[in-house]
Amino acid sequence: MTLKSKNAVVTGSTSGIGLAIARALAKEGANVVINGLGDEGEIEKTRAAIESEFGVRALYHPANMLKSDEIADMIHHAERSLGSVDVLVNNAGIQFVSPVEEFPVEKWDQIIAINLSSAFHAIRAAVPGMKARKWGRIINTASAHSLVASPFKSAYVAAKHGIAGLTKTVALEVATHGITVNCISPGYVWTPLVEKQIPDTMKARNMSKEQVINDVLLEAQPTKQFVTVEQVAALAVFLCSDAASQMSGANLSMDGGWTAK
Ligand code: NAD
């Protein structure tokens, strides 16, 4: 186990990629703080399962990624309860698909807040502790959309390009403090976020569900396969290892070859 005695906060970890990352870090011995929206009973089951399966402490913090004060409180709560935040994974994200001229203003604001600004607020709160302990790993879940665009996803693509820039900037600032900052850019991963955008994409592009899956989603990925949440989580674990201590400021693609095109 490579992360024994380390403590991790993973935002947006009640489902999908975040949950897989939280579980993979716990499997390596890290205590974890999970976060995200969802049914209270289901979240408690998820939390308790991490504790019992991996023999670590698992806490839940309900910080809403729209609220800077709640995000800072999540980091400080983790530091008080576990002793430190050594690994921070900024992963929470939402999607909305619409032509730019019809894009609801409040959706734009939400996506920029959740997919981009929340990472800034969490990093801002976590870096002083990491600097004091001279060790830290910050991993941001970006996207193939941090490197290339798709139509009808203006807010998401803008936020993900932003997170790639934030990753590089903070990596430079903390480089001499034993802290690395990287982002992972998955292509399409089969999670609720992808499933939920299918109906709107059907509408925006006037397509059937099968057409959206094969002609829009998998069309982007030369391998013609979805990435799995476990594959993304394995990369996050690697980024926390000593072997990755000289990797910083990187934007790591895991997209079946999408951005090679
Ligand atoms: P998901 O919908 O399964 O998970 C999103 C998580 O974010 C959930 O835990 C949800 O509760 C949480 N969340 C949403 N709004 C929140 C808020 N206001 N406050 C706190 N938590 C909130 O989706 P996913 O596919 O696992 O997405 C995770 C990350 O991966 C996102 O940043 C997404 O952009 C990115 N990503 C996903 C894919 C993909 O194909 N699924 C590809 C590239 C990048």
In degrees rounded to 5, what are phi and psi of residue 39? -70, 130
Which residue has a Cα nearest atom 32 of ligand 1? 93
**Residuewise pLDDT in 10s, the chain (261 residues):** 789 999 999 999 999 999 999 999 999 999 999 999 999 999 999 999 999 999 999 999 999 999 999 999 999 999 999 999 999 999 999 999 999 999 999 999 999 999 999 999 999 999 999 999 999 999 999 999 999 999 999 999 999 999 999 999 999 999 999 999 999 999 999 998 889 889 988 998 999 999 999 998 899 899 999 999 999 999 999 999 999 999 999 999 999 999 999
Residue 181 lies in a domain: yes
pTM, two decimal places: 0.97
Burial class (CB in 10 A: 0-12, 13-18, 19+), 244: middle
As a whole number of angstroms, the distance between CA 57 and CA 233 comes to 19
Whether residues 87 and 208 share a domain: the answer is no
Residue numbers annotated as active site = 156
Whether residues 14 and 98 share a domain: the answer is yes
Q: How far is the CA of 16 from the centre of ligand 1 (A)?
A: 7
Whether residues 50 and 32 share a domain: the answer is yes
Pocket (CB within 6 angstroms of ligand 1):
12-18, 35-38, 64-66, 91-94, 114-115, 141, 143, 186, 188-189, 191-194
Residue 141 contacts residue 161 (beta carbons within 8 Å):
no
Give the chain's end-to-end CA distance (angstroms, integer). 37
Residue 95 lies in a domain: yes
CA distances from 254 to 30, 201, 226 (A): 24, 23, 10
As a whole number of angstroms, the distance between CA 133 and CA 155 comes to 36
As a whole number of angstroms, the distance between CA 195 and CA 114 comes to 19
Which residue has a Cα nearest atom 41 of ligand 1? 189
Whether residues 90 and 156 share a domain: the answer is yes
Q: Which domain holds residue 14?
A: 7-189+228-260
Work out which ligand 1 atom sits closest to the CA atom of 64. Answer: 19
Whether residues 70 and 165 share a domain: the answer is yes
Residue 2 lies in a domain: no
Work out which ligand 1 atom sits closest to the CA atom of 144. Answer: 43
Any idea how long the chain is? Answer: 261
Q: How far is the CA of 191 from the centre of ligand 1 (A)?
A: 8
